[in-house]
Amino acid sequence: MTIYFYSTREKPYGCFSNFSQHGFELDGAWWATSEHYFQAQKFIDTDRPWFDKIREVKTPKEAAKMGRDRSHPLRGDWEQVKDEIMQQAVLQKFKTHADIREILLATGDEVIVENSPIDYYWGCGKDGSGKNRLGEILMAVREILRQQQNR
């Protein structure tokens, strides 16, 4: 049965959201959520003070708002690298936290879908026609973790 998630409040799959409070260390820094990491990477070589500010804000909601602020210059290769960056963040989050890693692994081979009514790239969108790239990345991360576990 397909597994849908969106809000961090929904149990047990709210932890699949990038807004869930599961921090991790990556690239030599601490990130409060995968949303913080993902949004900051948009400015890594174009606006370092803004990159640092995003890392330091309290909530993923603020990080997302700042990351979408186009008054700050987006890195030129963003469209080419954003999926890989998202996967690195999601993988590191689930490597760091054993409790949510078990929740992800326990989904077996079920399809995972970010049930966002507004996001047709990372989610499935209101009518289900979206790309669901976050769901696909979670499934790819699940496979990587499964293989690491079986080594």
Ligand X SMILES: Nc1nc(O)c(N)c(N[C@@H]2O[C@H](COP(=O)(O)O)[C@@H](O)[C@H]2O)n1
Among 122, 132, 136, 141, binds ligand X (CB under 6 A): 122
CB of 79 to ligand X, least distance (A): 10
The stretch among 51-59, 62-70, 73-81, 100-108 that binds ligand X (CB under 6 A) is 62-70
Q: Which long-range contacts (CB under 8 A, 24 or more apart) does 101-105 make?
A: 101/145, 103/12, 103/13, 103/15, 104/16, 104/138, 104/141, 104/142, 104/145, 105/142, 105/145, 105/146, 105/149
18 binds ligand X (CB under 6 A): yes
Binder of ligand X out of 5, 31, 33, 35 (CB under 6 A): 35
One DSSP character per residue, 78-104 reads: HHHHHHHHHHHHHHHHHHH-HHHHHHH
Pair 75, 45: CB distance under 8 Å: yes
Among 67, 125, 130, 135, binds ligand X (CB under 6 A): 67
How crowded is the C-beta side of 69, counted as CA atoms within 13 Å?
16
Q: Is 65 in the site for ligand X (CB under 6 A)?
A: no
Q: Which is nearer to ligand X, 4 or 151 (CB)?
A: 4
114 part of the interface to ligand X, by CB under 6 A:
yes
List of residues contacting ligand X (CB under 6 A): 18, 35, 64, 67-68, 114, 116, 118-119, 122-123, 134
